[in-house]
């Protein structure tokens, strides 16, 4: 048995969450090793929906545009009653975070893209056909016993380990962390098709107690159906070709086309009791299991990777103390559980128990169309919990949780740059580190009155001025900050930050609002937090 030199971060599991974490850490210049028991990335369809927050995380890793080229971008949902008449539509038009709210993708293509993306980094390594069979840890490192495909084993030591090894997570069991929540009684049949004849590119949701189901379009003429099993139906019965043919015949023109996968699933709404134990972190399905009704399972895992990656990098690069890592457990579970609850509520809409409840549901949603604010709440997908934290690694500004800008994800508008007069998404200007942003009409004086920031050099803090839409972004005098113009006024609209400087974390969450009139207290609190 051999032992290796210690690795800064080892990721167990080369699924989308593990590979995403590896790409982000590599972008932050942290060496990583990924260990995966399977021979390749996944080849069969699995997750099919990706949201704006996940695309933004991929943008940080430099992979958003390549994935978007493979997606069916920007689609919504139509809810149908028992008579197959539409009674509600979800069709969001805003792109506050720089990308469409909902798009369709193929998980095999995402995983292949992420795996290929690691080839950009000399210090990133993926080891397929290797399985972690043992784990011990102390205050300083984690030791993994790894078994190769030939049966031989070796000891692998890492400063930190990320368990991205799925819902059954062997590593979660090795560190004795349990799950809480519940499992749905009803099973669902998943059917993935290739070469659909159906040109409709919105999701159809069948709110029919006789057979609840979902019909999801995908890229490249793929399509997924999900149907709830009824009382007494068996796995063997519902996966029989004759049974599937009848289902497809009853729900569109796709009877007889190629079936890529048919699988019966049980859905869960569960969460790990701890997301961090010692130097081991749980991410993705290892930390939370989400019903598929909102398409948020994979997206929540990618959020985990975006949250943890910069914190690990800051510690390993000597910019912050290890205490920052505790904020992963503080920040992520609350938002992840909110999305699980949203999925559960959508599931109740999809699965009315009786025809009476189905017709009552339909009538209620039709009535909401007469009330514009309620109608927009549904159509614009405002029921989805906002990406924001009530506790964690930031400095509170005293404002109400629903009104504060602190702990929220920063909007990502289109901005015009000073040197080439071209438009870019804001994150492409911000880079990979911390940013101090000033919304200002006079960029040359944007940071006047700001006290010295003791942490500025250590963090490599970048200063960015954003000029409002109707002002020049190009200062009359030289400025030490990068200057851009808010092309469509979206940044000003969503932040209204003329009275503060915004300190933004690498994951694009606002860490602090520093008041321009009296900045001393906020700077002192930031200094304490960043240097503790």
pLDDT above 70 covers a percentage of the chain that reads 98
How many Å apart are CA 502 and CA 440, to the nearest integer? 12
Q: 330: phi > 0 → left, psi -120 to 50 → alpha, else beta; which? A: alpha
pLDDT greater than 70 at residue 3:
no
pLDDT greater than 80 at residue 469:
yes
How many Å apart are CA 224 and CA 107, to the nearest integer? 13
Tokens of residue 398, six digits: 């005293």
Average of per-residue pLDDT across 188-207: 97
Q: Contact, 365 vs 87, CB < 8 A?
A: yes
How many Å apart are CA 30 and CA 7, to the nearest integer? 10
Q: Contact, 208 vs 227, CB < 8 A?
A: no
Q: Contact, 32 vs 166, CB < 8 A?
A: no
The pLDDT score that the predictor gives to residue 483 is 92
The pLDDT score that the predictor gives to residue 362 is 94
Q: Which residue has the higher pLDDT, 477 or 258?
A: 258
Using only the alpha carbons of the chain, give its radius of gyration: 24
How many Å apart are CA 315 and CA 324, to the nearest integer? 8
Same fold, 2-70+105-177+271-343 and 414-531: no
**Tell me: the pLDDT tens digits for 428-464?**
999 999 999 999 998 889 999 999 999 999 999 999 9
Average of per-residue pLDDT across 176-193: 95
Q: 74: phi > 0 → left, psi -120 to 50 → alpha, else beta; which? A: left
Identify the burial level of 232 via C-beta atoms within 10 angstroms of its C-beta, where 0-12 means exposed, 13-18 middle and 19 or more buried. exposed
Sign of CA dihedral 64, 67, 71, 77: negative
The pLDDT score that the predictor gives to residue 1 is 60
**Tell me: the pLDDT tens digits for 263-289?**
999 999 999 999 999 999 999 999 999
Question: Between vectors from CA 495 to CA 490 and to CA 497, what angle results, nearest 5°?
Answer: 120
The total number of residues written for the chain in this structure = 532
Q: Which of 440, 442, 412, 409 is nearest to 425 (CA)?
A: 412
* Residue that is written with structure tokens 């689609």 in the block: 75
DSSP 113: H
**Tell me: the pLDDT tens digits for 340-362?**
999 999 999 999 999 999 999 99
How many Å apart are CA 497 and CA 342, to the nearest integer? 30
The pLDDT score that the predictor gives to residue 531 is 85
**Extents of the domains making up the chain:** 2-70+105-177+271-343, 414-531
Q: How many CB atoms lie within 10 A of CB 435?
A: 24
Q: Contact, 97 vs 53, CB < 8 A?
A: yes
The pLDDT score that the predictor gives to residue 476 is 63
Query: What does the mean pLDDT of the chain come to?
Result: 94
Average of per-residue pLDDT across 329-350: 94
Average of per-residue pLDDT across 71-87: 95
pLDDT greater than 70 at residue 305:
yes
- Could you confirm whether domain 414-531 is CATH 3.40.30.10? yes
The pLDDT score that the predictor gives to residue 360 is 95
H or E stretch covering 17: helix 16-27
Q: Contact, 517 vs 497, CB < 8 A?
A: no
Please state, in angstroms and as integers, the Cα–Cα distance from residue 425 to each residue in 60, 102, 371, 413, 490, following that order: 11, 18, 34, 6, 12
Q: pLDDT class for 398, splitting at 50, 70, 90?
A: confident
pLDDT above 90 covers a percentage of the chain that reads 89
Q: pLDDT class for 176, splitting at 50, 70, 90?
A: very high
pTM above 0.85, yes or no: yes
Q: Which fold has domain 2-70+105-177+271-343?
A: FAD/NAD(P)-binding domain (3.50.50)
The pLDDT score that the predictor gives to residue 298 is 95
Please state, in angstroms and as integers, the Cα–Cα distance from residue 514 to each residue in 414, 451, 494, following that order: 24, 10, 17
Q: Contact, 194 vs 221, CB < 8 A?
A: yes
Identify the burial level of 530 via C-beta atoms within 10 angstroms of its C-beta, where 0-12 means exposed, 13-18 middle and 19 or more buried. buried
**Tell me: the pLDDT tens digits for 482-532?**
999 999 999 999 998 999 999 999 999 999 999 999 999 999 999 999 987
Question: Between vectors from CA 400 to CA 395 and to CA 404, what angle results, nearest 5°?
Answer: 55
pLDDT greater than 70 at residue 475:
no
Q: Which of 31-35, 145-149, 415-419 has the lowest mean pLDDT?
A: 415-419
How many Å apart are CA 490 and CA 472, to the nearest integer? 16
Q: Which of 19-33, 201-215, 375-389 has the lowest mean pLDDT?
A: 375-389
């Amino acid at each position: 048995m051999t032992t290796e030199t210690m690795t800064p971060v080892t990721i167990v599991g080369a699924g989308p969450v593990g590979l995403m974490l590896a790409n982000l850490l590599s972008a932050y210049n942290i060496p990583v090793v990924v260990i995966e028991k399977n021979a390749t990335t996944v080849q069969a369809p699995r997750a099919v929906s990706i949201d704006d927050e996940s695309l933004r995380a991929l943008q940080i890793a430099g992979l958003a545009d390549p994935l978007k080229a493979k997606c069916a971008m920007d689609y919504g949902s139509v809810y149908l009653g028992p008579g197959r008449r539409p009674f509600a539509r979800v069709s969001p038009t805003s792109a506050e975070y720089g990308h469409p709210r909902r798009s369709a993708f193929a998980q095999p293509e995402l995983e292949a893209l992420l795996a290929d993306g690691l080839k950009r980094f000399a210090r990133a390594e993926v080891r397929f056909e290797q399985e972690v069979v043992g784990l011990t840890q102390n205050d300083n490192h984690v030791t993994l016993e790894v078994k190769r495909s030939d049966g031989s084993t070796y000891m692998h030591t890492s400063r930190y380990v990320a368990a991205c090894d799925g819902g059954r997570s062997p590593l979660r069991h090795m560190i004795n962390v349990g799950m809480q929540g519940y499992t749905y009684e009803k099973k669902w049949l998943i059917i993935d098709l290739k070469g659909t004849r159906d040109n409709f590119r919105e999701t159809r949701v069948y709110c029919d107690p006789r057979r609840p189901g979902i019909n999801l379009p995908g890229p490249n003429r793929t399509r997924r159906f999900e149907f709830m099993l009824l009382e007494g139906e068996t796995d063997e019965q519902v996966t029989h070709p004759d049974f599937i043919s009848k289902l497809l015949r009853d729900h569109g023109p796709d009877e007889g086309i190629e079936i890529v996968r048919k699988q019966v699933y049980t859905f869960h709404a569960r969460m790990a009791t701890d997301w961090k134990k010692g130097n081991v972190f749980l991410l993705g399905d290892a930390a939370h299991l989400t019903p598929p009704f909102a398409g948020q399972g994979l997206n929540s895992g990618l959020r985990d990777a975006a949250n943890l990656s910069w914190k690990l990098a800051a510690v390993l690069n000597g910019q912050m103390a290890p205490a920052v890592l505790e904020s992963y457990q503080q920040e992520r579970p609350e938002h992840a559980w909110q999305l699980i609850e949203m999925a559960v509520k959508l599931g109740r809409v999809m699965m009315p128990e009786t025809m009476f409840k189905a017709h009552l549901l339909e009538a209620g949603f039709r009535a909401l169309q007469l009330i514009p604010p309620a109608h927009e709440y549904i159509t614009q997908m405002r029921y989805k919990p906002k990406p924001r934290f009530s506790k964690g690694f930031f400095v509170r500004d005293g404002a109400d949780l629903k009104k504060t800008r602190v702990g929220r994800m920063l909007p990502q508008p289109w901005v015009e740059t000073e040197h080439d007069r071209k438009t870019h998404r804001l994150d492409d200007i911000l880079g990979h580190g911390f940013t101090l942003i000033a919304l200002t009409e006079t960029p040359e004086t944007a940071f006047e009155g700001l006290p010295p920031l003791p942490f500025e050099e250590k963090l490599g803090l970048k200063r960015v001025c954003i000029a409002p839409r109707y002002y020049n972004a190009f200062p009359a005098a030289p400025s030490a900050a990068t200057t851009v113009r808010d092309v469509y006024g979206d940044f000003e609209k969503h932040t209204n930050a003329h009275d503060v400087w915004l300190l933004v974390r690498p994951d694009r969450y606002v860490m602090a609002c520093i008041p321009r009139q009296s900045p001393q207290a906020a700077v002192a609190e930031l200094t304490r937090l960043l240097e503790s």
